Structure 1
């Protein structure tokens, strides 16, 4: 017998009740960015948390807000200062985008993060996830938030697949949207996020400790393997990201010429120093003078 809208609603309520009880007892309520509704502070945390572990972010986040507590404070410094402060977080372009965003907000939006989604998405470095996260976590708007952890929980519990790669973004969004409560959406999304981070992990999920184990489609189906397993990741030391990071770290200490920068790079990276510098300059992270000395932007 097909499910009726009433039965689907009842199932969603049962799902949310189990998830909410687990979150109240086990959620990561003390994370510093969860203790504020300030859009600037929430945005900073979301940018820092992109592909970076929570434990690494916490001290950087607290130091950043102590130094630059508002969009105006951040907009008033040079890009080089921001890049230096980003040390240890990786993906330095994020720092530059955050600085550009702060200037845009101060110059064009009177220092207040705009509310209109289309305007928010037009700010430097703001994609669909970051926009929805700020709208939900800072402003409690009723929107779907699908970071990696939330997407995994939805893919498994509702769609019966191992990873988000096994379903379309549209299917994932529809499944997550069907679960949204009428109120307390912020806690609902945070609960899904924590469940994915702590219990429904990518590897070795702790299904016995999961509050959704009795209604998880993936578990019921026998926990099938991913249909589209991820390929082997290259060693970090072989990537352009590694070399670019080494160059930025060196320039955080002092300006240098191309030969000095090539000397700190191993193997084939050394031969590609000029290529890396050109790419970093295009991104606005570094610049050079007429004498060929490179420095942070």
Structure 2
């Protein structure tokens, strides 16, 4: 990969135009409202990773109604966080989000801490999440780099159709160099992210709507094709799909579930229990309909137990206590 070029000398123009575009076109999301708490922003950052805004919105609203402050979640078992996560996917994020409130209560008086270092020290919080919370909740001049930001930087400055398949040190160096002063850091982070989500999209970029079209190195180069073909994430038939179906059973269950039911070795009618579209049998039928092999079912159940997303006891398998 060639070395990214230095930021254009008119970086101030980029900052001003993207900030102006963001103020006029940003989606009215609840975690962007001035009265949204740092905790609300923290919850949104966990939920938005690899998940579309439309799917996050109802779950975020329900989560904040039930757990409006970190202490409320800290008082609940981890299994309730996993249950409330619903079908957002990647449920280990729910476990990570549940891990942080106890430390927030014990070490920070129940308030989400405001610095990158303090946030990074919380259980379950990684480098991206710490930077995003510090920037969006506390206006800290941290560099926030997600997939959308990387794509905008790749096109606007580096002249490439897509960023590298995984984040590189060179990309981070470029992102740091493009950051404005502390006064404009928050809106720059949010603006570039939103530009990538709404205009500078991966498949069909809306270049005519771009506020920095005339400064885009990729457009100036004739919009060259990407150097690789992005691989979409498979779903049908994967362990992720089977694990998700098992998790749906456990979320619906009000008591431990026999592992034989999850592994398909017990007839559903003979097993008894709640029936109907809202009962556990509906989710078990969906799991059976995947027609997964015995080996895959066993592997997926073992994986859920190893990841802490489920716990086994003499009574059966349930969400973590």
Determine whether 1:276 maps to 2:300.
yes
Name the structure 2 match of 1:296. Answer: 319
1:195 and 1:73 mapped to 2: Cα distance?
A: 35
Q: How does 1:90-169 map to 2 (within 5 A)?
A: 90-165=89-164, 169=168
**Structure 1 residue aligned with 2:29, among 21, 28, 31?**
31
CA contact (8 A) 1:150 1:196 kept: yes
1:8 and 1:154 mapped to 2: Cα distance?
A: 12
Q: Tell me whether 52-61 or 167-176 shows the greater mean CA deviation.
A: 167-176
Q: How does 1:1-297 map to 2 (within 5 A)?
A: 8-9=8-9, 11-28=10-27, 30-35=28-33, 36=35, 38-165=37-164, 169-182=168-181, 183-234=183-234, 236-254=235-253, 255-263=256-264, 264-265=287-288, 266-291=290-315, 293-297=316-320
1:205 and 1:113 mapped to 2: Cα distance?
A: 37
Aligned with 2:231: secondary structure? Answer: coil
User: What's the CA shift for 1:159?
Assistant: 0.8
Offset from partner CA, 1:25-71 (integer Å, 9 cap, x none): 2122x100001452211110000101111011111111111110111
TM superposition score normalised by structure 1: 0.90
1:167 and 1:89 mapped to 2: Cα distance?
A: 23
Q: Tell me whether 216-225 or 100-109 shows the greater mean CA deviation.
A: 100-109
Q: Tell me whether 237-246 or 114-123 shows the greater mean CA deviation.
A: 114-123
User: What's the CA shift for 1:8?
Assistant: 4.8
Aligned with 2:311: secondary structure? Answer: strand
Aligned with 2:56: secondary structure? Answer: helix
CA contact (8 A) 1:166 1:226 kept: no
1:270 and 1:237 mapped to 2: Cα distance?
A: 17
1:211 and 1:168 mapped to 2: Cα distance?
A: 25
Offset from partner CA, 1:154-192 (integer Å, 9 cap, x none): 111011111121686222223222332221311111111
Aligned with 2:308: secondary structure? Answer: coil
CA contact (8 A) 2:239 2:296 kept: no
